[in-house]
Amino acid sequence: MHDLRAIRENPESFDRGLARRGLEPMSSTVLDLDSRRRAAQTQLQEMQARRNEAAKEIGLAKREGRDAQPLMEEMAQLKERLPQVEEEEKALGAELDGLLASIPNLPADDVPEGPDESANVEIRRWGEPKAIADAKQHFELGEALGLMDFEAASRMSGARFTVLKGGLARLERALADFMLDIHTGEHGYTEIAPPLMVRDNALFGTGQLPKFEEDLFRTGDHYLIPTSEVPLTNLVNDQIVATEELPHRYTALTPCFRAEAGSAGRDTRGMIRQHQFWKVEMVSVTAPDQSEAEHQRMTQCAETILQRLGLPYRVVTLCTGDMGFSARKTFDIEVWLPGQSMYREISSCSNCGDFQARRMKARCRPKGEKQTQFVHTLNGSGVAVGRCLIAVLENYQQPDGSILVPEALRPYMRGLERITA
């Protein structure tokens, strides 16, 4: 959510930020609604005060034997008009809140400008892509091994689901355990087992609602989480935390559920884009002056996973046209996939500044002070388990169709060195 005071003080800066996002200026619309709502609030307060004052005057007039009829008529008019003004103030407030809730976070000053992923800026690369003759894609490898069954998944669930068997099912579990052990044991994250179903207020807090409801799966009064960013970030929903205790770092392994409403025709084969997938998520809650350093640290934590697995990757800064709704700056980590002969996203690490905190009313207070300030929130994949499995399959494929298990994973695979049919 955006700071109305900041928009009032510098509407030009707000409009420049929107322009960088490819949006039309909106400050005049926001400020007009704000002005009308505040005027309605003032009118309401004045009418309520006059009602209270008139009630006293009526009582005094009756005690003194004076004619109270004019005052009683005024009171009747106030009682009739007050609900109308209350409704007007409420409607203007709802309209303003709805407008502000639909506006994405403004990009940080150093975010590159551009309309789409073509304008993303590469920062660094790690590892050399392997030269693999006649490299196959993960679904070709998995199906040939008889351990990846899309047809069975389709019979029970439809498109964009997968059944993993045997060595590949174990590999997925091993990858998740491996990631959690590193993030909790080496990087200081606290492991959380969060709810997989949340109410709409939690999704509003992190920015999925109301704008992206079509990408969510709903069941009754709850939604299935599209990422554990939602419950992890909402751990500080409507809370005031001690500034000296920050940063808070959380990690979780959960299934994620996404409708992929806008992905018709994209990655229809294989496991790249699924309705259900596993992900290890990282979330940090920081003081405002900590978030930029925490953003770099979080990205490096995700990179550690790929380095230990020997998977080549690159890190890019997303441009203004490719960033997510709640992010003010995002680093994507893209892993090399020999079967596609290209880098594909495997982790997205975003600094959201105070954008989510304002929606959640999440604040911090220094010890001994009365004044609070909004915390900053960050989230990142540490990493997407299914996509990491894809990367391992394609980068460790052997000429005979088997998959070599990366050394770092072998303790998690009970010593298994190779996955075969």
CA distance 75 to 86: 16
Q: What is the pLDDT of residues 270-293, one digit of tens each?
A: 999 999 999 999 999 999 999 999
Which residues 6+ apart lie within 8 Å of 181 measured at CB? none
Position 131 pLDDT exceeds 70: yes
Residue 347 counted as an annotated binding residue: yes
* Helix (H/G/I), strand (E/B), else coil: 93: helix
pLDDT at 49: 92
Dihedral, CA atoms, 329, 390, 336, 349, nearest 10 degrees? 10
Residue 379 counted as an annotated binding residue: yes
Position 262 pLDDT exceeds 70: no
Average pLDDT of 394-415? 97
Residue 402 counted as an annotated binding residue: no
Average pLDDT of 399-407? 97
Summary mean pLDDT of the chain: 96
Residue 103 counted as an annotated binding residue: no
Indicate the pLDDT class of residue 311, thresholds 50, 70 and 90.
Answer: very high
Residue 284 counted as an annotated binding residue: no
Position 344 pLDDT exceeds 80: yes
Residue 281 counted as an annotated binding residue: yes
Average pLDDT of 18-45? 96
Residue 363 counted as an annotated binding residue: no
Check if the beta carbon of residue 314 is closer than 8 Å to that of residue 213.
Answer: no
406 cis-preceded (ω within 30 degrees of 0): no
Residue 128 counted as an annotated binding residue: no
Known catalytic residues are 258, 273, 345, 348, 387
pLDDT at 377: 98
Q: What is the pLDDT of residues 63-89, one digit of tens each?
A: 888 888 989 889 899 989 999 999 999
CA distance 172 to 276: 14
Position 178 pLDDT exceeds 70: yes
CA distance 301 to 289: 20
Residue 213 counted as an annotated binding residue: no
Check if the beta carbon of residue 377 is closer than 8 Å to that of residue 352.
Answer: yes
Average pLDDT of 245-270? 88
Residue 118 counted as an annotated binding residue: no
Task: Give the residue among 304, 284, 291, 292 at the shortest CA–CA distance from 388.
Answer: 304
Across the chain, how many H-helices and E-strands are there?
Answer: 12, 18
Q: What is the pLDDT of residues 234-249, one digit of tens each?
A: 999 999 999 999 999 9
Indicate the pLDDT class of residue 375, thresholds 50, 70 and 90.
Answer: very high
CA distance 356 to 203: 10
Average pLDDT of 344-348? 98
The pLDDT > 70 percentage for the chain reads 99
Indicate the pLDDT class of residue 267, thresholds 50, 70 and 90.
Answer: confident
pLDDT at 158: 96
What interhelical angle do 166-185 and 385-395 show, nearest 10?
120
Position 264 pLDDT exceeds 70: no
pLDDT at 159: 94
Position 222 pLDDT exceeds 70: yes
Position 181 pLDDT exceeds 90: yes
Residue 94 counted as an annotated binding residue: no
> Could you give phi then psi for residue 267, rounded to 5 degrees?
50, 50
pLDDT at 263: 67
Query: From residue 47, how far is each of 39, 57, 84 by CA, in Å?
Result: 12, 15, 12
Average pLDDT of 258-268? 77
CA distance 275 to 161: 6
What interhelical angle do 291-309 and 166-185 show, nearest 10?
140
Q: Residue 316 carries which DSSP code?
A: E
H helices of 237-373, where?
A: 291-309, 355-360
Average pLDDT of 208-231? 96
- What pTM was estimated for this model as a whole? 0.93
pLDDT at 269: 87
Average pLDDT of 177-199? 98
β pairing state of 190-191 and 248-257: parallel
